[in-house]
A and B are shown apart, each in its own frame.
Chain A
Amino acid sequence: MSNRDFLLLMLAMGAVTYLPRMLPLVVLSRRALPTWFAEWLELIPAAILSALIAPTLFAHPDPRLFTLGKIELLAALPTLICALKTRSLAGTVIVGMLCYWGLGAMR
């Protein structure tokens, strides 16, 4: 691939990534949303975070298989408890990393 083709490809990849990030912010921030839609959007962050985490904890990536034996899942339990008890982001991230590291070393 020539340098010019590479840059064109990056520009196109950038455009299709940027537009979904930008359009709702610019369009929706200027109008009053219907109540049901605002309430729906309020639930979206919890749903997205949960959807992002679940396969990391409960599935192998390649090939995709369900599992209950991942270190990530074991480390997630103390991490979750720490988050609920301390409500500290820094503390939770550090506890999570240490648990993951320790469990990985034990295996």
Chain B
Amino acid sequence: MTSKIRRGLSAAWPICLGYFPIGLSLGVLAQKGGLAPWQMAAMSILVFAGGSQFIAVAMIGIGASPLAIISTTFMVNLRHLLMSSALSVHFPGVSRRFLALFAYGLTDESFAVNMTRFNQGEWHRYSALTLNHAANTTWIVSTVAGVYLGQLVPPGAAGVDFALTGMFICLLVFQLRGPVFTITALIAAASALLTYLWLPGNAYVIVASCLAATIGLILKRLLWKQGRIHE
């Protein structure tokens, strides 16, 4: 048990490193928008979703209606539906209680790391849960710290702004396990860029991922039928 927790913690560090400056800057914005430390803590504990928290802080600041804030949050975080579906194959027959707790910590970053580790094998669900909660704790601490002392931290110190992008690039490389995966990733990048430029919000993640995975699947089936690749 202890070793599973330790493995989860040691896999979490790039996420924590990336979350810290983002959390601090959210805290600074929240403080400028009139949020108290306890309100920042409540938001980070109850919502725990970086992008939508930035949007919510801005919307609260300009006095947007609660309904507008809630529906925006829903749209922004809907992409987790796909990640949750993709992760589900790694939890056959696991108790509902565990899954309910695990799902709380599902973010883009924890999804990417957990999915990679599960695919590599020997990744226990308690390591995955530990990773989620290490990321969550970092997020809560850094956002609240941002409300208190965010102004003191220089922006862009030592390239930390690139930590999450660097992590995503490496995790993407781990995912490329054959030509179909590479083609899918290329289609996803191109269509994400196009939809990012044409559609507002971050609908581009869902639209591009679904489109790319569908084309990738069709391609895989066609190649398989022609006997070009073997499973």
Interface residues of A (CB under 8 A from B): 1, 5-14, 16-18, 20-30, 33, 36, 38-59, 64-66, 72, 75-76, 79-80, 82-84, 87-90, 92-93, 95-102, 104
Contacts and interface: CB of A to CB of B under 8 A. Distances in A.
A89 B17 CA distance: 13
Contact of B70 (A16, A52, A58, A101): A16
Contact of B39 (A6, A24, A29, A89): A6
Interface string B77-121: 111111111111101111010011011101010011001100000
B189 A54 contact: yes
B122 to A, nearest CB: 16
B169 A76 contact: yes
Interface in B3-29: 13-14, 17
B169 A14 contact: no
B185 A50 contact: yes
Contact of B47 (A13, A45, A99): A13
B89 A33 contact: yes
A17 B72 CA distance: 10
Nearest to A46: B175
Interface in B144-181: 156, 158-163, 165-176, 180-181
B104 to A, nearest CB: 6
A51 B175 CA distance: 13
A49 B209 CA distance: 9
Which DSSP category, helix, strand, loop or mixed, fits chain A's interface? helix
B115 A45 contact: yes
Contact of A13 (B69, B88, B89, B170): B69
Given A38-B89, A43-B184, 20 more contacts: A1-B60, A17-B48, A17-B49, A21-B103, A24-B84, A39-B220, A46-B185, A46-B188, A47-B210, A47-B212, A48-B108, A50-B172, A53-B172, A54-B196, A65-B197, A72-B162, A82-B170, A92-B169, A97-B166, A99-B162
A49 B108 CA distance: 8
Given A20-B84, A66-B197, A48 B159 contact: no
A16 to B, nearest CB: 4
B193 A46 contact: no
B166 A79 contact: yes
B212 A93 contact: no
A92 B171 CA distance: 10
Nearest to B46: A14
B42 interface: yes
